[in-house]
Structure 1
Amino acid sequence: MEAQIAATIVCGLLIAIGTLGVVVPVLPGLVTVAAGLLVWALVLQNTVGWVVFAVGLVFVAAGMLAGAVLTGRRLKERRIPNYSILVGVAAGIVGMFLLPVVGLFVGFAAGLLLSEFVRRRDFRAAASASAVALKAMGLGILAELGCAFVVGSVWTVGVILHFFL
């Protein structure tokens, strides 16, 4: 029983860290959530654990797919190349160290804008493309975050079923 309680605590922490990782992309978001569910199912070795893992995995996959599709489609519509996104990510990583907490987002936005300005040679077009990219990334994050919350809720129901009913 102690192993099950410990696994439940570890799983809860991994779900919390993974959910935070959806918003702060330095941490592996939904993958960490899925790992937590797997640990819990492996330790419990019962139907509740495996059903929660299976249902949770469906939402993890849906979140990852929705995030990629929502973001990728908008970026392709505006013809924003991958290297502009990579420049934004690199600038975000630098920004994370220069401005704790907000530097990741500020650096990403600034790097993306700079990359698009160099590519297009028109500030308005670069700003418009960067705004579209930031909105697309935001929609992807919201989709993943929503699925992470659903997975956390599914796991909570599983904990109640396992320990209290």
Structure 2
Amino acid sequence: MPLYGDIIVGVVILIGLLGIVIPVIPGTLLVVVAILVWAAIVGGWAWAVLGVAVALIAITETVKYLVAGRVLRSDGIPNRTVVVGAVVGIVGFFVIPVVGLFLGFIVGAMLAELVRTRSTTQAWRGTVSASRAAAYTIGIELFGGLLAAGIWLGGAIVL
């Protein structure tokens, strides 16, 4: 693949990594698709690079849900709190682009916990726990995306 092709793939991977942190675009999916396109063009050992990258992302995607669930269970927070936070966050994203997603998540989680506990102190504790679990998932997903990007970069240099 010519250098400009590798640069384009690298830029798409970078956009995917940014999409993991700022969930406006499908981050990990974009990383995988970029590496898939690269592997299809380069061929040969590039398919092995794709396989390793996909395996790493699949592992980290699984781990992120296990870790988030464990954090929520250890703090006694139901999954419903995260779901309500996510739904209100999505609505918030359209009301106040980008920032509304984070604000909406916090407001939604707080409301869900307030209804559940009927205590602002307990509701805030639940909101912090849900936010911490969400931050862990973003960090773990970003780690997987960075591993996949590193595997691709190594493959692009060698191949």
Runs of 4+ in 1 over 4 A off after TM superposition: none
C-alpha displacement at 1:34, in angstroms?
1.5
In the alignment of these two chains, the number of paired residues is 159
Which residue of the partner structure matches residue 19 of structure 2? 21
Give the one of 134, 138, 159 matched to 1:137.
Answer: 134
Contact kept in structure 2, 1:112 and 1:130, CA below 8 Å: yes
TM-score with structure 1 setting the length: 0.85
Amino acid at match of 2:21: V
Q: Which amino acid aligns with 2:133?
A: A
1:152 to 139, 149, 154: 149
Partner Cα distance (2:80, 2:137) in 1: 19
* Correspondent of 2:41 among 43, 48, 71: 43
Q: Calculate the aligned-residue CA RMSD, in Å.
A: 2.0
Unmatched tracts of structure 1, length 5 or more: none
**Structure 2 unaligned spans of 5+:** none
Offset, 1:57: 1.4
Q: Which residue of 1 aligns with 2:95?
A: 98
Distance 1:61 1:10 in 2: 24
In structure 1, give the amino acid aligned to 2:39: A
- Choose which of 82, 86, 89 in structure 1 pairs with 2:86: 89
TM-score with structure 2 setting the length: 0.88
3-state SS, counterpart of residue 92 of structure 2: helix
- Aligned mate of 1:116, from 113, 116, 128: 113
Separation (CA, whole Å) in 1 of partners of 2:30 and 2:60: 13
